[in-house]
C-alpha cells in the first residue's frame, strides 16, 4: 500500500491534517498516538505525521512517540506538539516559553533551498518551544518567539514545524505537507476516485460473496453513495429500502426513487409510512420527544420490512470517516450532548446484520467525488444535509400533515430562489438553507382583509464543518423575493423573518 500514518496527539486539527495527503492523492489514516503497532503498520505507511496536542511533553501522562515508530526508519514530520515530542524523544530540550505564541506569526527560513522558502506567514498555537535541538538536527526557520520554528535531520528524514501547516491560515502550508508526503516519503499519488471505487468493489465482493444485502437509503449523500458502490459490486444481490416518512422536503421522495430506479437501475422498495408517523406525532411538541418518536417508528418499519425480505445477512451503512475518527480519538473535551442527533433516524448498533461500510475511510467531499464518479446525479451528490427526524424538527409546535405541507411549500420557494440565484448547490457559499415554521400567529393585512396566520423563519448558514456556523449574508433583494413569494403563495403564512443567529450560541436547526 501507498500510505501515510498520522498519529493524533489530541489535536483539534487532526482531521484537517488527514485531508492534506489525501488532497495530494495519497491515502492516509489517523491513529490515536498510542494505537497498537500492528494497527498502525497494517496500512504499510511510507512515513508518519505527528499531530499537535494540548499537553506539555514533561507533563505526567503526556503522549509520546512509541519506540517502534522510530525503529521503522521511515520519515517523520512532527507538527507543534508532534515536533516537541520528536525533539524530546531524540534527546533535545523543550521548555515552557515566557510568552505563548497564538495566532498569526511570521517565520524566516534559516537555510535556503528548503520548502520553507515558500512559507512566511504561519499559524502558531503553542506555549512550549524547543530550546536545544537533538543531535543531527538543524534549525530551518525561526519566528519572533521561537528560535527554532522548524527543524530537520536530513539524513534520517526527520522534520518538525512549530506552526500548523495544515490550516488555511498558513498560506502554502499544504505544499509543505505535500512535499513531505510525495518527495520525502516517496508516496505515489495514486489515490483517486477510480482507485477508491475499484478497491471498495473488491472488498465488498470479498465480504458478501453471493449473499443478499439490504440498504436503507434516505436520499442523503452518504447512504446513496454507499448503496451505489454496493450495487456496482454485487448488482441485484442488493435491495434498497426507502421509507417515505411524509416528513421529507418537497419532491424528495420522487427524486430518490427516480435516481435509484431510473438513474442507476437498482431495485428500490419505497415504503409509504406518512400516516403512521403523523399518528405517532399527534399532540407532541417537545423536541426530544419528537426525535425519539420518529427514530423508534423508523426502526419499527425497517425491521418489519427486513423480515418480509427474509432478513438478508448484510446491511449497508453510510458511516463516514469523521464518525469513525470521532469515536476512537484520544481524550478531547467531551462535548455535552445537546441534541440526540446521530442516533436518530439511524439504526441501532445491535441489529442482527453484518455491516457493509464502504465509506468508512472517506471524508464527506471524497464521498461526493466517488458519487460523481459512480454517475449519481449532481442533485443527489450535492444535496444539503437533512436531519434524520426530517421536517418534524423544522415544524415547531405540533407536527400535523397540514402544517408540514405549509412548511414544505415555503421551503420549496426558498430553495427555488436560492438555487436560481446560485446561492445553493455545488460550490455555492451557503451550506444549508431551509424554512422553519413557527407556532406563532401574528396579524397582517392582505388586500383589505385582516389576516391572523403563522410566521415562518428563513435559516441559511455558511459553515465548513457544521460544528460552527454563521448566518449567510444573503442579498436583501433575494430575501425580499423569498418573503414576498411565501406570503403570497403559501396559505397560512403571513409573516417571514430571517434568523441572524450564528452557531454557537444558536444551533443550525431550531430543535
Ligand atoms: P445543529 O442543529 O446541531 O445541526 O446545529 C448540525 C447539523 O446536523 C444536522 N442535524 C441532524 N442530522 N440527524 C442527523 O442526521 C439529526 O437528528 C440531526 N439534527 C441536526 C443539521 O441539519 C446540521 O446540518
pLDDT at 309 over 90: yes
Q: Which three cell numbers stand for residue 121?
A: 506567514
pTM of the model: 0.85
Task: List the single range of 79-88, 250-259, 300-309, 338-347 with lowest mean pLDDT.
Answer: 338-347
The predicted pLDDT at position 338 comes to 56
What would the CATH number be for the domain defined by 394-498? 3.30.300.10
Angle between helices 193-208 and 364-373 (to 10 degrees): 90
pLDDT at 354 over 70: yes
For the chain, the C-alpha Rg in angstroms (whole number) is 26
Residue 129 near residue 160 (C-beta atoms within 8 A): no
344 lines ligand 1 (CB under 6 A): yes
Instruction: Give residue-wise pLDDT tens across range 60-80.
Output: 999 999 999 999 999 999 999
What proportion of the chain, given as a percentage, has pLDDT over 70?
96
What would the CATH number be for the domain defined by 193-381? 3.40.50.620
**Which residue owns the Cα nearest ligand 1 atom 20?**
387
Q: Which three cell numbers stand for residue 341?
A: 442527533
pLDDT, average across residues 115-125:
92
Residue 333: pLDDT band (50, 70, 90) is very low
Ligand 1 pocket: which of 335, 385, 395, 459 to mutate (most atoms within 8 A of CB): 385
**Cβ within 8 Å of residue 284, ≥6 positions away:** 290, 293, 398, 399
pLDDT at 160 over 80: yes
pLDDT, average across residues 281-310:
95
Report the C-alpha gap between 374 and 467 in whole angstroms: 29
pLDDT at 182 over 70: yes
pLDDT at 175 over 70: yes
Angle between helices 287-308 and 274-281 (to 10 degrees): 150
Exposure class string for 360-371: b at 16+ Cβ within 10 A, else e: bbbbeebbbbbb
Q: What is the enclosing helix (H) or strand (E) of 455?
A: strand 449-462
Instruction: Give residue-wise pLDDT tens across range 475-511.
Output: 999 999 999 999 999 999 999 999 999 988 999 999 9
pLDDT at 180 over 70: yes
Domain ranges of the chain: 3-184, 193-381, 394-498
- Please give the backbone phi and psi of residue 411, each rounded to the nearest 5 degrees, phi first: -60, -40
Residue in the block written with cell 430553495: 415
Residue 91 near residue 134 (C-beta atoms within 8 A): yes
Q: How far is the CA of 511 from the centre of ligand 1 (A)?
A: 9
What proportion of the chain, given as a percentage, has pLDDT over 90?
78
Instruction: Give residue-wise pLDDT tens across range 210-247.
Output: 999 999 998 889 999 999 999 999 999 999 999 999 99
The predicted pLDDT at position 497 comes to 98
pLDDT at 332 over 70: no
Report the C-alpha gap between 31 and 2 in whole angstroms: 16
DSSP annotation of 134 reads: P
DSSP annotation of 331 reads: P
Q: How far is the CA of 44 from the centre of ligand 1 (A)?
A: 36
Ligand 1 nearest atom to the CA of residue 467, by list position: 6
Decide whether 3-184 matches 193-381 in CATH topology.
Answer: yes
**Count of CB atoms situated within 10 Å of the CB of 18:** 24
Give SS3 for 326. helix
346 lines ligand 1 (CB under 6 A): no
Nearest Cα residue to 161 out of 178, 181, 143: 143
Q: How far is the CA of 393 from the centre of ligand 1 (A)?
A: 10
295 lines ligand 1 (CB under 6 A): no
341 lines ligand 1 (CB under 6 A): yes
Higher pLDDT, 327 or 3: 3
Provide the annotated active-site residues. 80, 164, 166
Report the C-alpha gap between 469 and 503 in whole angstroms: 5
Ligand 1 pocket: which of 219, 435, 509 to mutate (most atoms within 8 A of CB): 509
pLDDT at 263 over 90: no
Instruction: Give residue-wise pLDDT tens across range 381-423.
Output: 998 999 989 999 999 999 999 999 999 999 999 999 999 999 9
pLDDT at 168 over 90: no
Q: How far is the CA of 360 from the centre of ligand 1 (A)?
A: 20
DSSP secondary structure letters along 399-449: --HHHHHHHHHHHHHHHHHHHHTTSSSTT-S--EEEEEEEEEEEEEEETTE
Residue in the block written with cell 423536541: 287
Q: Which CATH class is domain 3-184?
A: alpha beta
Please give the mean pLDDT across all residues of the chain: 92
**Cβ within 8 Å of residue 93, ≥6 positions away:** 87, 130, 131, 132
Amino acid at each position: 500500500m501507498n500510505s501515510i500514518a498520522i498519529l493524533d496527539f489530541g489535536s483539534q486539527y487532526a482531521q484537517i491534517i488527514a485531508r492534506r495527503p489525501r488532497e495530494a492523492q495519497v491515502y492516509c489514516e489517523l491513529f490515536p498516538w498510542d494505537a497498537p503497532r500492528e494497527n498502525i503498520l497494517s496500512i504499510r505507511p511510507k512515513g508518519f505525521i505527528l499531530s499537535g496536542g494540548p499537553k506539555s511533553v514533561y507533563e505526567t501522562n503526556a503522549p509520546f512517540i512509541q519506540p517502534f515508530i522510530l525503529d521503522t526508519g521511515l520519515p517523520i514530520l512532527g507538527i507543534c506538539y508532534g515536533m516537541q515530542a520528536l525533539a524530546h524523544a531524540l534527546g533535545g530540550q523543550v521548555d515552557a516559553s515566557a510568552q505563548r505564541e497564538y495566532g498569526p506569526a511570521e517565520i524566516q527560513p534559516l537555510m535556503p533551498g528548503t520548502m520553507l522558502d515558500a512559507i512566511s506567514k504561519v499559524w502558531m498555537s503553542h506555549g512550549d518551544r524547543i530550546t536545544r535541538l537533538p543531535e543531527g538536527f538543524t534549525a530551518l526557520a525561526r519566528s519572533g518567539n521561537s528560535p527554532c520554528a522548524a527543524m530537520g535531520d536530513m539524513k534520517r528524514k526527520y522534520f518538525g514545524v512549530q506552526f500548523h501547516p495544515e490550516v488555511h491560515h498558513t498560506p502554502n502550508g499544504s505544499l509543505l505537507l505535500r512535499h513531505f508526503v510525495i518527495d520525502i516519503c516517496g508516496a505515489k499519488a495514486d489515490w483517486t476516485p477510480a482507485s477508491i471505487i475499484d478497491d471498495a468493489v473488491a472488498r465488498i465482493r470479498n465480504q458478501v460473496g453471493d449473499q443478499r444485502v439490504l440498504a436503507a437509503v434516505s436520499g442523503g449523500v452518504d447512504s446513496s453513495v454507499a448503496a451505489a458502490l454496493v450495487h456496482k459490486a454485487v448488482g441485484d444481490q442488493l435491495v434498497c429500502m426507502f421509507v417515505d416518512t411524509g416528513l421529507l422536503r418537497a419532491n424528495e421522495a420522487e427524486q430518490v426513487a427516480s435516481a435509484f430506479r431510473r438513474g442507476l437501475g437498482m431495485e428500490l422498495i419505497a415504503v409509504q409510512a406518512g400516516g403512521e408517523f403523523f399518528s405517532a406525532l399527534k399532540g407532541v411538541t417537545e423536541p426530544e420527544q419528537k426525535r425519539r418518536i420518529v427514530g423508534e417508528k423508523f426502526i419499527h418499519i425497517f425491521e418489519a420490512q427486513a423480515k418480509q425480505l427474509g432478513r438478508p445477512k448484510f446491511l449497508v451503512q453510510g458511516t463516514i470517516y469523521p464518525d469513525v475518527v470521532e469515536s476512537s480519538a484520544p481524550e478531547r473535551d467531551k462535548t455535552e450532548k445537546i441534541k440526540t442527533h446521530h442516533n436518530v433516524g439511524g439504526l441501532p448498533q445491535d441489529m442482527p446484520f453484518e455491516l457493509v461500510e464502504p465509506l468508512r475511510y472517506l471524508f464527506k467531499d471524497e464521498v461526493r467525488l466517488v458519487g460523481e464518479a459512480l454517475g449519481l446525479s449532481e442533485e443527489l451528490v450535492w444535496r444539503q444535509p437533512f436531519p434524520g427526524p426530517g421536517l418534524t424538527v423544522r415544524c415547531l409546535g405540533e407536527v400535523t400533515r397540514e402544517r408540514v405541507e405549509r412548511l414544505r411549500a415555503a421551503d420549496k420557494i426558498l430553495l427555488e430562489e436560492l438555487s436560481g440565484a446560485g446561492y445553493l448547490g455545488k460550490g455555492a457559499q451557503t451550506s444549508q438553507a431551509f424554512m422553519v415554521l413557527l407556532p406563532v400567529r401574528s396579524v397582517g393585512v392582505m388586500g383589505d382583509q385582516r389576516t391572523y396566520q403563522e410566521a415562518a423563519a428563513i435559516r441559511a448558514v455558511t459553515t465548513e464543518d457544521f460544528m460552527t456556523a454563521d448566518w449567510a449574508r444573503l442579498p436583501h433583494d433575494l430575501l425580499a423575493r423569498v418573503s414576498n413569494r411565501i406570503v403570497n403563495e403559501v396559505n397560512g403564512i403571513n409573516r417571514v423573518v430571517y434568523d441572524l443567529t450564528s452557531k454557537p450560541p444558536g444551533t443550525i436547526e431550531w430543535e
